[in-house]
């Protein structure tokens, strides 16, 4: 970092090592010549502070409680926000940050940057999800009209606190504009993978069903939002319909026990065909995909997922694999006909049909892989990062006195509310 370019800080309620979006952003800023400090959750066994690919990671003493009740989540959010506010404020006295970026959810975590905002440090809020819709999906019993109104209110206040807002796709961007956020304040930075990391040429080439086994892969969370149970049921249908076709499903991801997937596999006689590999590091995901024949991107359809687009589609496509994904609005808007195969949400039969169509028609399969690759490359992180870095550099405050920064920050508060 040069003397004239100050570092930036990022705050994320996640394990930094496992958050591919924040890692891509942080690494892109480091590659541009700025230092980056990330304030994140701390998993057991990890040092409180360390370097990862040029990024300094401050791991605060809070862990995730995946699958817990709402009370536990609220306490976790509150504790992390308090620790992040304290750690960020103390670090700013030494580091003099040019910019703070806060990733949601929760949206209100952006207020951890309030002390810096008050002295003129600009703030970006990176909205990974739509929090009101997420809450309604995750806690349906607690999601009454009063709670939803409170969630929308905190979302509005969080956006007003920030100088700029980033979100991950056009649907979420349109949603923000529809709720009254100025279009100029919103930047779309798609959640697409880096082709440097997901590089098919860096791994051994596997011809389709090279060993006589159809190897299906799923790399992601094993929580309720992803209908992995539909993929297991589809595998059972394939086994029944095509007893001559040996198919195996490799699952890569942490299993919090929210869905009884292991029990389902055993009950369907698939204990030897569904392999639970557990969580693997981000850098190992491309190799796992490269060793498969076909990538699955199942997602339960809700109001929340109607606004989302799984990064898995991009990752599988970048690795040259045909993809079968749930038919969701953002999937169809991003991947036109002739690219990925889509199936009816919740339907194991529809998914099995899609998988077998790719197995049986090699020419169509290869054409879809090529067409998907074109989409993936047009929306790759290497392209998206240009827009992201332009926003960062346009907001970053380098070399301003505290008084001037404070006056400029107050002006921006009025302008961006």
Enumerate helices (H) and strands (E) in the chain, giving the number of each: 15, 14
CB 314 within 8 A of CB 335: no
Name the 3-class secondary structure at 60: strand
Burial class (CB in 10 A: 0-12, 13-18, 19+), 327: middle
In sequence order, what are the residues at sequence separation of 6 or more whose Cβ sits closer than 8 angstroms to the Cβ of residue 249? Answer: 216, 217, 218, 231, 232, 235, 270, 273, 274, 275, 296
Domains of the chain are: 8-192+381-416 (3.40.50.2000), 200-378 (3.40.50.2000)
What pLDDT sits at residue 258? Answer: 76
What secondary structure letter does DSSP report for 188? Answer: E
Task: Give the helix, strand, coil percentages of the chain, each rounded to 5.
Answer: 50, 15, 35
pTM (2 decimals)?
Answer: 0.86
Extended beta strands in 265-380, E state: 274-278, 294-297, 323-326, 341-343
What pLDDT sits at residue 412? Answer: 44
What pLDDT sits at residue 67? Answer: 62
pLDDT digit of tens for each residue in the chain (417 aa)?
455 789 999 999 999 998 999 999 999 999 999 999 999 999 888 999 999 999 999 999 887 766 666 777 789 989 999 999 999 999 999 999 999 999 988 999 999 999 999 999 999 999 998 888 888 877 777 778 898 888 889 999 999 999 999 999 999 999 999 999 999 999 999 999 999 999 999 999 999 999 999 999 999 888 888 999 999 999 999 999 999 999 999 999 877 677 899 999 999 999 999 999 988 988 999 999 999 999 999 999 988 888 889 999 999 999 999 999 999 999 999 999 999 999 999 999 999 999 999 999 999 999 999 999 999 999 999 999 999 999 999 999 886 444 344 444 444 443 333
Does an H or E element contain 165, and which? strand 164-167
CA-to-CA dists, residue 66 to 69, 222, 228, 323, angstroms: 9, 11, 17, 28
């Amino acid at each position: 970092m040069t003397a004239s370019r100050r570092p930036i800080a990022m705050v994320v309620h996640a394990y930094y090592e496992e958050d591919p979006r924040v890692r891509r952003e942080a690494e892109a800023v480091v590659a541009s010549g700025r230092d980056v400090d990330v304030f994140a959750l701390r998993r057991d066994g990890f040092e409180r502070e360390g370097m990862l690919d040029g990024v300094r990671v401050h791991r605060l003493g809070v862990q995730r409680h995946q699958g817990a009740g709402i009370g536990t989540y609220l306490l976790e959010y509150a504790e992390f926000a308090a620790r992040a506010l304290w750690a960020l404020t103390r670090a700013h006295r030494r580091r003099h940050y040019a910019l703070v970026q806060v990733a949601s959810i929760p949206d209100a975590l952006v207020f951890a940057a309030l002390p810096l905002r008050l002295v003129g440090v600009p703030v970006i809020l990176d909205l990974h999800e739509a929090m009101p819709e997420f809450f309604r999906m995750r806690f349906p019993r607690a999601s009454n009209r009063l709670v939803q109104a409170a969630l929308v209110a905190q979302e509005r206040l969080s956006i007003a606190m920030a100088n700029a807002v980033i979100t991950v796709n056009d649907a979420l961007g349109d949603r923000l504009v529809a709720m009254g956020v100025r279009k100029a304040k919103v930047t779309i930075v798609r959640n697409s993978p880096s082709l440097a990391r997901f590089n098919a040429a860096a791994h051994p080439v596997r011809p389709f069903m090279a060993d006589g086994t159809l190897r299906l892969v799923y790399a992601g969370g094993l929580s309720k939002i992803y209908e992995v149970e539909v993929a297991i049921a589809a595998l059972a249908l394939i086994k029944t319909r095509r007893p001559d076709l040996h198919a195996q499903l490799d699952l890569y991801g942490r299993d919090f026990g929210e869905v009884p997937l292991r029990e389902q596999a055993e009950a369907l006689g698939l204990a030897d065909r569904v392999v639970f590999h557990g969580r693997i590091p981000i850098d190992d995901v491309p190799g796992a995909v490269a060793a498969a024949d076909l990538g699955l991107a199942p997602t339960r359809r809700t109001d929340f997922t109607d606004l989302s687009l799984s990064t898995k589609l991009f990752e599988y496509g970048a690795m040259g694999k045909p993809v079968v994904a749930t038919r969701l609005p953002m999937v169809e808007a991003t991947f036109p006909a002739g690219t990925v195969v889509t199936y009816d949400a919740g339907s194991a039969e529809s998914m099995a049909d899609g998988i077998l169509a790719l197995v049986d028609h090699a020419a169509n399969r290869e054409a879809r892989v090529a067409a998907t690759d074109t989409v993936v490359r047009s929306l790759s992180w290497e392209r998206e990062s240009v827009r992201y870095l332009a926003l960062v550099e346009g907001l970053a405050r380098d070399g301003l006195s505290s008084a001037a920064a404070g006056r400029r920050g107050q002006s921006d508060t009025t302008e961006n509310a």
